[in-house]
């Protein structure tokens, strides 16, 4: 199942869900909220003037997917993870990748 989810999120040659939704920009820019952003929506530690190669963007995206998967595994029960189809898990991971994990008890993310 993990392979199927990764194919949905990353795809090949720019066909993945995250790249299609986020787009790739190798040079840092301000997102609509005014936050410095690079690659496929990566914001952690980004400053205007930063530049990332395609390989660096790929690694940041995979890192973000791994982080999102860790949040999903920590907060979704085993029965749920087993019952949910790969496309739905990919949607959850894309959401977590996009808005962040959030904080327990607050309506600001997945948790």
Known catalytic residues are 22, 31
**List of residues 6+ apart from 53 with CB closer than 8 A:** 26
Tokens encoding 56: 């660096």
Cα–Cα distance, 44 to 97 (Å, whole number)? 12
Q: What angle do CA 105, 106, 110 make, to 5 degrees?
A: 95
Mark residue 76 as left, alpha or beta (left: phi above 0; alpha: psi -120 to 50; beta: remaining): beta
- Three-state secondary-structure class, residue 36: strand
């Amino acid at each position: 199942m993990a392979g199927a989810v990764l194919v949905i999120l990353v795809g090949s040659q720019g066909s993945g869900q995250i790249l299609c939704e986020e787009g790739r920009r190798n040079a840092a820019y301000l997102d609509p909220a005014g936050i410095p952003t690079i690659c496929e929506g990566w914001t952690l530690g980004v400053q205007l003037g930063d530049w990332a190669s395609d390989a660096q963007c790929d690694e940041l995206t995979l890192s973000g997917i791994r982080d999102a998967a860790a949040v999903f595994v920590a907060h979704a029960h085993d029965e749920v993870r087993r019952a949910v189809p790969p496309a739905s898990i990919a949607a959850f991971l894309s959401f977590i990748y996009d808005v962040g994990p959030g904080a327990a008890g607050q309506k600001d993310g997945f948790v």
